[in-house]
Chains A and B, each alone.
Chain A
Amino acid sequence: MKKKIVTIALLFILSVICTHIIVRILYAQMMSLTIIERTDRDFVNSKNHIQYLILGDSHALNAINSELWMNSFNFSSQGENYAGTYFKLNHILNQTNKIIDTVLLPIDLHNFSFAQSKRIEPSYYWVRYINYGEWGKRRQNQFHFFNKYMQGKVFPYTENFEQLITQIYESKSPLVPKRIKKFSLHMNKESGTQLRVKNHFEKKYYVDDDLLYYFKKSLSLCQSKNIPILLIKYPLTYEYYKNALDYIDIAHFYNKIYSIAAKTPATTILDFQDDFFGKDSLFKDPNHLNKEGATIFTHMVMGRIDSLQVTSHNSVLF
């Protein structure tokens, strides 16, 4: 009897392991269809010499079209915060044979917010870059980050399986109305912007010490490799900027960022924040450029950089 029970228990465990393997393979297949994974593959297959490496979150991802900019690679990903950016940069510079001439990093209003510090998903992707032990120690929540690590390595499907299916379905199904790509045509511009700004800044504080720490580390890392840095203030709609004023002392915020940048040689700040005010048709939502906007913006950045002649010995420019 005892032997039978043990056999059944073992068989059941085996069946669970088999299901786990099948689901994990299925998950990996589905993930491979996502932009984040495609970008990763493209990066591996890209040329070894990259003149301009763009890192950041969806602002940068949507704003710069690498296809229009020779020798650039936009390696930004949705929801990426400075912890993710640092670890990714560290991986690129220390564990790949890519030669990077210049790194473009974002310094937008929300880049250091508490809400942004929480966003670093999916673990399946990030586990290949982030040192969760270190990140957990900094956040003083090692259990949570160990959990994230395990999720990334062993049970990635527990994090976002349904979102993945939804994402794939929505991109393919004719039943789902496609999103309006022009912010100017949005029905609820006002309330939508208010909600977005609230989600970005409402919680606790708008400068997270840990994100600032990884921002500084990213600058130091580039400095140690003699790589010039371009800090970009990406374009916003006026609605977004106006609403953000309710939550942030913008002047104080940028004084803080500029003072950090000033301490790092070869750091240049390019400010495009208000360049697109009143041009809502170039945005798809309050803070992301659409394809048309990205084309214009990419050319603007290229032109501005050409006029700067960035080298590793430049000082801070405004």
Chain B
Amino acid sequence: MNFNSIQYFTFFLVVISIYFLLSHKYRWILLLCASYYFYMCWRVEYILLILGSTVVDYFAAIQMGKTTSASKRKIYLFLSLFINIGLLFSFKYFNFFNDSLRGVFNHYNIFYGVPAFNVMLPVGISFYTFQTLSYSIDVYKGEKEPEKHFGIFALYVAFFPQLVAGPIERSTRLLPQFLEKFSFDFVRVVDGCKRILWGLFKKVVIADRLAILVNHVYNSADDFTGIPLIIATYFFTFQIYCDFSGYSDIAIGTSQVMGFKLMENFKSPYLSSSVSEFWKRWHISLSSWFRDYLYIPLGGNRKGKWRWYYNLFIVFIVSGLWHGANWTFIIWGALHGIYLLFTIWTKNIRSKTFSLIGLKENSLALKFLSVFITFNLVAFAWIFFRANSVSDAFFICTNLFTGLNLNTSFNLGTGHVSLLLSALSILFLIFTDTTQLFSKSSIPFKSRRMMYQFVFYNMVIFGILLFGIKVGPKFIYFQF
């Protein structure tokens, strides 16, 4: 059940209506049943994975709460980590490592007989696994009391708006909200609906439209050089942003309608003036997860310069691997790690250069230049994220600027009107993102005059109705 389907909106309306009619006491049952039903719409049997993970983490946390023995607590934490990471490894990474090992063995002509594990990747496994892992670690560290109510804990693991693609919520934030009583608040409901509409617009009008062109070029990358590759790469940069942030907006909006506040996942990331700032604004729930549960435990920047560099790089490699079991994602992560290290190493040189050419520290020109460079670096890295293989990615990188001839006609898999609509919708996105950044509101045009809001949301609604792609691809992050 995709968020951009009639089925989802019917499901949502039914759940919301019953939710507000039900007494607070029984709402968790409704939400849990709805969440399990929502997940089973993809594949019924994979609900067992969520159930298994829920049961293990629930009991591990309860046992950790009961004992004061550090070693016993460690055993329960290890049990939780082993089961969760084991599931994730089996379903997501086993074949990748297995194939890589087979490649090495074959290279040395050694027999390698471990068969592949041919199963479909359970949707959202990386998201809910990380969510439950954070709970176990928080309980182990004593930052969170174990949740005694099994149903509420199960709901925390499977809460449908953020189950399949985040935001990855912390137990300290989300669990207490399930115990709160939310009544129907018109303003909150309207704000939630605005968020859903904007998310839907980003998905069906921008992302799905750009996907047609991007897929056309990237799925047969060898056939193109120069401008089509550049256009497709920039378009993918916006496609993935609109696809994922669109999903997050719908998830946050859906929760907001019911009264729950999920964490923000995006804050106009393409307007960042450095790669480190980009990671504070892109997929915030994941980057903060890595910061809290990997970077800091590794020692962060407290164990000397070289160890700091190492920690940063490792976090980005793992982040790449989290996205997918493929070398393209690892290179994408590594590239971001390199960007960050390069930024650190060249900090002084850059300051000197800027002052030499007369650019002041906080000047608008420098800010604009920084945003421009950061955006292009990020866009370049997306090549590895989107390419079907490492060889495709390298082909694209090496052919981005070959055969640059504006007079050459090229087929981008879509007509002029669609191309124009793509460009206009990107401009509309940049405009909205900029206004959001200045108004510091996650809901577009919330702080503007009523008339502007009316105009904006009319444009959004009719944009969806007139130009939305009816049968578009799934959300990109569902595969992770």
Contacts and interface: CB of A to CB of B under 8 A. Distances in A.
Interface stretch (B86-94, B245-253, B274-282, B460-468): B460-468
Contact of A12 (B417, B454, B466): B454
A268 to B, nearest CB: 42
A316 interface: no
A170 interface: yes
A245 interface: no
A162 B186 contact: no
A11 B417 contact: no
B454 A158 contact: no
B465 A157 contact: yes
B416 A5 contact: no
A265 B467 CA distance: 49
A317 B250 CA distance: 63
B465 A169 contact: no
B465 A166 contact: no
Interface string A7-44: 01101100110011001000000000000000000000
A8 B458 CA distance: 14
Nearest to B187: A5
Given A8-B450, A19-B458, A166 B415 contact: yes
Secondary structure call for the A interface: helix
A157 B466 CA distance: 6
B47 interface: no
A55 to B, nearest CB: 29
B454 A155 contact: no
B332 to A, nearest CB: 33
A38 B461 CA distance: 31
A12 B450 CA distance: 9
Contacts of B418: 162, 166
Interface in B437-474: 450, 454, 457-458, 461-462, 465-467
Given A16-B461, A170-B415, A162 B466 contact: yes
B421 interface: yes
A169 B416 contact: yes
Contacts of B465: 155, 157-158
Given A15-B454, A23-B466, A161-B467, A5 B417 contact: no
Nearest to A177: B409
Contacts, number: 43
A20 B190 CA distance: 20
Nearest to B190: A9
A174 to B, nearest CB: 11
Given A173-B416, A175-B416, A16 B458 contact: yes
A155 B461 CA distance: 13
A15 B467 CA distance: 19
A9 B454 CA distance: 10
Interface string A138-179: 000000000000000001011001100110011001011000
A156 to B, nearest CB: 11
A234 to B, nearest CB: 29
Contacts of B190: 9
Size bracket, chain A contacts: 20 to 34
Contact of A166 (B417, B450, B457): B417
Contacts of A5: 186-187
Nearest to B454: A15
A23 B464 CA distance: 13
Nearest to A158: B465
Contacts of A162: 417-418, 421, 466-467
A151 B458 CA distance: 19
Contacts of A8: 450
A314 B204 CA distance: 56
Contacts of B461: 16, 19
A161 B416 contact: no
Contacts of A175: 416
Given A23-B462, A161-B467, A11 B415 contact: no
B430 to A, nearest CB: 22
A250 B406 CA distance: 50
Contacts of B467: 161-162
A2 to B, nearest CB: 8
Given A8-B450, A176-B416, A158 B466 contact: yes
Contacts of B187: 5
A166 B416 CA distance: 8
A5 B190 CA distance: 10
Contacts of A12: 454, 457
B419 to A, nearest CB: 11
A9 B457 CA distance: 12
Given A5-B186, A162-B421, A176-B416, A11 B454 contact: yes
B458 A15 contact: yes
A165 B187 CA distance: 37
Nearest to B458: A19
Residue in B457, B458, B461, B467 whose Cβ sees the most chain A Cβ within 10 Å: B458
Contacts of B417: 162, 165-166, 169
Nearest to B414: A166
Given A11-B454, A12-B457, A19 B462 contact: yes
12 contacts: A5-B186, A5-B187, A11-B454, A15-B454, A15-B458, A19-B458, A19-B461, A162-B417, A162-B467, A169-B417, A175-B416, A176-B415
- Which 4 A-B pairs rank lowest in CB-CB distance, beginning with the nearest? A166-B417, A161-B466, A15-B454, A19-B458
Interface of B: 186-187, 190, 415-418, 421, 450, 454, 457-458, 461-462, 465-467
Given A19-B458, A162-B421, 16 more contacts: A5-B186, A9-B190, A11-B450, A15-B454, A15-B458, A16-B458, A19-B461, A19-B462, A157-B466, A161-B466, A162-B417, A162-B467, A165-B417, A166-B415, A170-B416, A173-B416
